[in-house]
């Protein structure tokens, strides 16, 4: 379980090298963030975020609001361009391409292809209201993966049954509870067979009694070996399910440890204070 020291990440810095060379790097991590920087105007939201997630691991990300957790996830999902640093998926640098010996951001169409390898679940579900639950799960298969409607329907039906909503497949989102909507959203991301799933506070918009059903689906996913990064305020979930827990504050990671250590003996004063506050 021990993570290698951060030094190796610097060795792995392939800035300026052809992207093809990066492909051959050993995929030690499924998803890796290396020195991510992001700034909105004069506001440094991310100030050098570095971490990696091993295959099948669950990384929980805690931290006060405004600490940059959601921005980090959006950068990892290639939904926000980063100002500096690297995102690597299975060892391959993503979001950029080589042009004339320099790395430049990918055009939107190429970014879209890379995004389809990463599953993203949002705090506010963001289901498509003009589609049924099944339609929401199918649309990625038909419009991104190029599957036929019949194929997509079959795969989507299996997936929607996996999140326990087979009977609700033909319902529109106005007819689903928040918990059900979030489970559909998970199925929608999962059906793309992503290499990693990112969750942005998936239970924060839910009524308390609906949190459990969503966490149950996520725990099941973790058991099945899905690689996950979960931004959450659910300390219980982080304790039970995460392999490592990250504490973010002020746009940087201030603690990164296995849950027993993280919750039992936090090294950073800020972490201690945060844990006291949320308990």
Partner 1 sequence: MDFKPSVFFEALTSPAFIDGVRVTIMLTVVAMAFGLALGLLVALLRASPWAPLRAVAWGYIWVFRAIPALVWLLFVWDALPQLVPAFKGDWFSAFAAATIALAMNEAAYAAEVFRGGLLSIDEGQRLAARALGMPPSKVFTKVVAPQLIRVTIPPLSNDFITMLKLTSLASVISLQELLARTQTLVASTFRFVEYFSAAAIYYLVLVSIFMVIQAQLERRFVWISQQTASTSALSRVRQLAALR
Q: Which residues bind partner 1 (CB under 8 A)?
A: 77, 79, 108-109, 112-118, 120, 122, 124, 126-132, 139-140, 143-144, 170-175, 185, 188-189, 192
Cβ proximity to partner 1: between 171 and 263 the closer is 171
The neighbour count for residue 104, using CB atoms within 10 Å, is 10
Cβ proximity to partner 1: between 53 and 118 the closer is 118
b or e along 137-156 (b: 16 or more beta carbons within 10 Å of the residue's beta carbon)?
Answer: bbbbbbeeeebeeeebbebb
Cβ proximity to partner 1: between 130 and 279 the closer is 130
Smallest separation (angstroms) from partner 1 to the CB of 240: 27
Smallest separation (angstroms) from partner 1 to the CB of 101: 27
Cβ proximity to partner 1: between 72 and 238 the closer is 72
Smallest separation (angstroms) from partner 1 to the CB of 259: 28
Smallest separation (angstroms) from partner 1 to the CB of 140: 4
Smallest separation (angstroms) from partner 1 to the CB of 15: 26
Cβ proximity to partner 1: between 143 and 209 the closer is 143
């Amino acid at each position: 379980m021990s993570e290698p020291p951060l030094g190796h990440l610097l060795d792995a810095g392939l800035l300026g090298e052809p992207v093809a060379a990066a492909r051959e790097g050993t995929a030690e991590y499924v998803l890796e963030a290396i020195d991510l920087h992001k700034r909105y105007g004069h506001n440094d939201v991310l100030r050098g975020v570095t971490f990696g997630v091993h295959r099948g691991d669950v990384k929980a990300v805690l931290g006060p609001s405004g600490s940059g957790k959601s921005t980090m996830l959006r950068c990892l999902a290639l939904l926000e361009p980063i100002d500096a640093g690297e995102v690597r998926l299975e060892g391959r640098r993503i979001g950029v391409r080589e042009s004339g010996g320099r790395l430049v951001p990918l055009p939107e169409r190429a970014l879209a292809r890379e995004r389809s390898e990463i599953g993203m679940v949002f705090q506010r579900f963001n289901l498509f209201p003009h589609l049924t639950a099944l339609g929401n799960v199918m649309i990625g298969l038909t419009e991104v993966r190029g599957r036929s409607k019949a194929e997509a329907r079959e795969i989507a039906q299996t997936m929607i049954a996996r999140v326990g909503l087979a009977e609700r497949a033909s319902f529109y989102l106005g007819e689903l509870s928040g918990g059900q909507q979030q489970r559909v959203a998970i199925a929608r991301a999962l059906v793309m067979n992503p290499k990693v799933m990112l969750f942005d506070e998936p239970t924060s918009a839910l009524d308390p009694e609906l949190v459990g059903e969503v966490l149950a689906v996520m725990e099941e996913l973790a058991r099945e070996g899905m690689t996950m990064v979960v931004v959450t305020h659910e300390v219980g979930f982080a304790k039970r399910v995460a392999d490592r827990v990250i504490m973010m504050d002020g746009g940087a990671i201030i603690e990164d440890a296995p849950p027993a250590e993280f919750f039992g003996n936090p090294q950073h004063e800020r972490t201690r204070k945060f844990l006291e506050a949320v308990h």
